[in-house]
Structure 1
Amino acid sequence: MMRFGVAKDLITPDLPTYMGGYGSFFNKPFQGIHDDLYVRTLLVQDGETKLIFVSLDLLFHDFALTEELQKWSETAFQIPADHFFLTYSHTHGGPAMVGYDDASQHSPSYERFLLERIKSCVSRAMVNTFEGTLQAGGVNGDWNINRRLSVDGELQNLPNPEGAKDDRLHVLRVLDLDGRTKVVLFNYACHPVTVRDTLYLSGDYPGRICHLLEAEYFGAMGIFFQGAGGNSRPKATAYKGMFITCTYDEMNEMAISIVQAIKLLLTNPKAMVQVQPDVAACQFKVHLEIDPYPKSHFAAIASDPASRPGLVGMANRVLNHYDHMPDYVNLPAGLIRLSADLYIAYMGGEPCYEVKRKLERLFPGVTLLFWGYADATAYIPDDQIIVEGGYEAEGSVVEYGLKGQFRPGIDKRMAEAFTAAFRAL
């Protein structure tokens, strides 16, 4: 019999902070709170093996936060660092964070507040435990759209109805021994940018889905893990060949539609399969090489009066550290086995759907959930996207403070790393 622990806690800033995401480009603080932000924790225990899953209603953070929490969890609860997994919903309605936004926008007070709230949430999950069972299922949904459109041979950030996207919504449900739903975990790949650069704090559509699930299943916790959504946006934001800013009511409509699909799935006894647990996990780094841009590239952006304030700060940061920056990054990654035929791939950055699709092909006969956004490394393209170019391959380099774009070879390095992890488990 498996054991589980659940907890959530408020992480809405209690002091003024700069906005993250789109709002950070304009160097402005939030104007108000539309809906609160949360940290949610799920403990999964199979015999002596314990896994901690943490989801945050934030854009993302550098991996140093996860490493600090892994060390703390190992000391406090004797849970190996490899068994502690933290990801971000990637809502653009959160505060500026270390690792992505410019240093002038970070709030040290909020960073301290966030760390303590996460620790408290994990600690409460460790004491709020119960025996239960785990079910897995999924449904296809048409809530996202590819955002890479070729116009006159150039990749632009525009709706592409024919482009590749991940339609699969994965759901894990935890039931207690009385058959009551205690956790609804959902995993979908789509940027939470329905209200884009609106300067109000919000968990966007993932946060709203959690609210609705918790209202539907009294005493349960909804928890979201973002997928390989680097090159997809909500379909609701696509209008007449452009991406628009939606209203909160339109965000709510998207959330209601997804919740209805989840409810239908959970009420279908043939759709949700009981997981026969065989739990194990490991984490590792994937070495990705960078093709450096010349200093003049960053200098031109830093001196361009049309550049956004946040982008100027990032370009100057690269210039100031250029000679000492490495020509590679080590991308955090991991693999989780829940049963013999149910795995979770875990990865930092903003992975594009093609990355997940190629990993799925490595493991035929296995259902593979994919959790991206474990840190703020960069967009993670596959080799084909690197060749094609576009924002995910080259346009976002300065935004992420990288020295240049990734070199081809990502497909091979991903395959080698995840295959080795699969064999080890």
Structure 2
Amino acid sequence: MKVGSSRYCLTPEKEFYLIGYRSDNRYEPATGVHDDIYCNSLLFEQDGKKVFIFSADVIEFEESMADDVKTLLHNKYGIERDLVLLCATHDHSSVVSYHRSWYTNKFDQEYYDFFIQTILSSYEDCLDSLQTATAAYGKEVIRGYYGNRNHPGQLADNEVIVVKFHDEAGKPFAGFVNWAVHSTVLSADNTMLTSDLAGEVSKKLYDSFGFYPAMIVGAAADSSNRNERKGSDFHELERVSTALAKHISEIDTNNEIILGSIRYQTLFHVIHHNMETVHEELTIEINKMQEQLAEENNEDKIEFYEKKIHNLKKELDVHNYHLDIKGVVINLGNIQLFVFPGELGSKFGIEMKDSTISLGIICGYTNGYYEYFMPKEEYGLSFETIGSKIPKGDPEKIIKKFILASKRLNDSKI
């Protein structure tokens, strides 16, 4: 197999606005650039077939944008649409300019065109840098910096996987880190552009890796450093990113893994929800919050409850919800990518990785954003599921389809 790589800066050159957190300061221009945001790309080629991974320090990719990019790359270079992966690190302090439907309406066509051209340039650089490669990996459960945010003291999917690609001389030249954690050390009060946790860890790994790894976020719906952090400013970001980069750099990556033929299986799942039971749950939750609001004296908490009640009431206007979900399982020899356009509960990530005989890599936040998909036992326990448009039990059905697709690929000859 041949592997190519590229890296580009995505920082805007003119005034811009931030994305994430749905805070009022996102209506005002960013106050500066703390550190640049980047994209890291990988291209895999075997027997004329290619897989392209574009990982960027953004919060999400709209499905419409992903479809445009897939068509553009297919028409220009012949790559199959299902083998194009736009992966977001889920950075809540990134730029909004590329996003057409974000609620602040700060879309910038000029920046969007720049973004699309950067994807094309990244692909072309990957093509130009293709070289015969071998692969090796390592993995380790890292504790103490993030965990299950809904169950303090418990782990989420804390396994970190490092995959490195080596040239014919045995030197690593590209690779990726697969982990499952929100890239959200900084709070909603931050008004400066930053790559936050994922981007900072990638930058800090350069000294030990010799390249900037693409950061691929897995099943991180319920995983963050909320219960472990000692602050929410840039000092805390420096502490946590430095410590995590050190831990990751020390993971033993001497496990060889065979790169082989590129094969894939697409899967589909349709959700059509009449929202009646959701409205019942929402009404109960709104009544609880209104009771809490009536007894509250703290101004910050009063504002929090008022905003939350306002947002929940808007969901009562949604009477029918339809979603056509598309997932893909891709084999790169003995590396298997589970591609999902949303936020999966950490339990599901562990389940899918444990189900495959290959090295399982969860690619969440990829080619779209379909909100939270949590285990049925978690419903009603946290904001991810209260008023969820995803019916209880449907995420389990989707995971079964992923595992079946994985089995079909692994049962066939590599």
Q: TM-score, normalised by structure 1?
A: 0.81
Query: Does residue 409 in structure 1 map to residue 394 in structure 2?
Result: yes
Question: What does the per-residue CA deviation read over 1:160-203, in whole Å, with 9 as the maximum and x for residues that have no partner?
Answer: 113x4112101110111122211131011111111122111111
From 197, 203, 218, the equivalent of 1:205 is: 197
Flag the 1:423–1:254 CA change in 2: closer, same or farther, 3 A: same
Alpha-carbon distance in 1 for matches of 2:71, 2:159 = 34
- In structure 2, the residue corresponding to 1:4 is in which secondary structure? strand
CA distance in structure 2 between the partners assigned to 1:47 and 1:10 by the alignment: 31
Q: CA deviation at 1:89?
A: 0.2
The partner residue of 1:246 within 224, 232, 235 is: 232
Q: 1:180 to 1:348 in 2, by over 3 A?
A: same
Q: What residue number does 1:172 align with?
A: 163
Give the residue type in structure 1 aligned to 2:122.
C
1:333 aligns with 2:327: yes
CA RMSD after TM alignment: 3.1
In structure 1, the gaps of 5 or more residues are 150-159, 398-403
Aligned-pair distance for 1:415? Answer: 0.4
More strand by share: 1
Look up the match of 1:152: none
Q: 2:153 aligns with which of 141, 150, 161?
A: 161
Change (3 A) 1:290 1:17: farther
Does the aligned pair in 2 maintain the 1:137–1:273 contact within 8 Å?
no
What is the aligned partner in structure 2 of residue 145 from structure 1?
A: 147
The letter of the residue matching 1:53 is: I
2-structure distance, mates of 1:100, 1:76: 27
Deviates further, 172-181 or 329-338? 329-338
1:72-129 deviations in Å (ceiling 9; x for gaps): 1111111111111111000111022537621523333322222222222122211122
* Equivalent AA in structure 1 for residue 73 of structure 2: S
2:116 corresponds to which residue? 115
Range 368-377 or range 85-94, more displaced: 368-377
Alignment partner, residue 5 of structure 1: 4
1:260 has 2:246 as partner: yes
Match status 1:184 vs 2:175? yes
1:31/1:173 CA distance change after superposition, 3 Å: same
- 1:281 matched to 2:264: yes
Partner SS for 1:392 = coil
- For residue 9 of structure 1, report the CA deviation from its aligned partner: 1.1
8 Å contact from structure 1 (residues 5, 43) kept in 2: yes
1:377 aligns with 2:370: yes
Which region of structure 1 is more displaced relative to structure 2, 26-35 or 304-313? 304-313
Equivalent AA in structure 1 for residue 241 of structure 2:
A
C-alpha contact 1:83 1:282 (8 A) present in aligned 2: no
CA contact (8 A) 2:373 2:390 kept: no
- 8 Å CA contact 1:210–1:223 kept in 2: the answer is yes
Kindly state the Cα deviation for residue 145 of structure 1 after the two structures are TM-superposed: 1.6
Distance in 2, Cα, partners of 1:34 & 1:211: 14
Aligned counterpart, 2:21:
22
Closer/same/farther in 2, CA of residues 417 and 207 from structure 1, 3 Å limit: closer
Choose 350-359 or 308-317, whichever is displaced more.
308-317
2:357 is the alignment partner of 1:355: no
Q: Of residues 306, 325, 337 in structure 2, which corresponds to 1:344?
A: 337
Q: For residue 216 of structure 1, report the CA deviation from its aligned partner.
A: 3.3
The answer on whether the counterparts of 1:350 and 1:378 sit within 8 Å (CA) in structure 2 is: yes
Q: TM-score, normalised by structure 2?
A: 0.83
CA offset at residue 230 of structure 1? 0.9
Give, in angstroms, the shift of residue 309 of structure 1. Answer: 11
Worse overlay, 95-104 or 349-358 = 95-104
State the one-letter code of the partner of 1:14: E
Provide the C-alpha distance between the structure 2 equivalents of 1:371 and 1:201, rounded to a whole number of angstroms: 24
Question: Residues 222 and 310 (structure 1 numbering): CA distance in 2 closer, same or farther, change over 3 Å?
Answer: farther
Q: CA deviation digits over 1:254-291, x for unaligned, max 9? A: 2222222333225x64xx32324233223333323435
Matched letter for residue 63 of structure 1: E
Runs of 4+ in 1 over 6 A off after TM superposition: 295-298, 307-320
**What amino acid maps onto 2:371 in structure 1?**
A
Q: Classify 1:167/1:255 alpha carbon distance in 2 versus 1 (closer, same or farther; 3 Å).
A: same
Q: Which blocks of at least 5 consecutive residues in structure 2 are unaligned? A: 288-292, 294-301
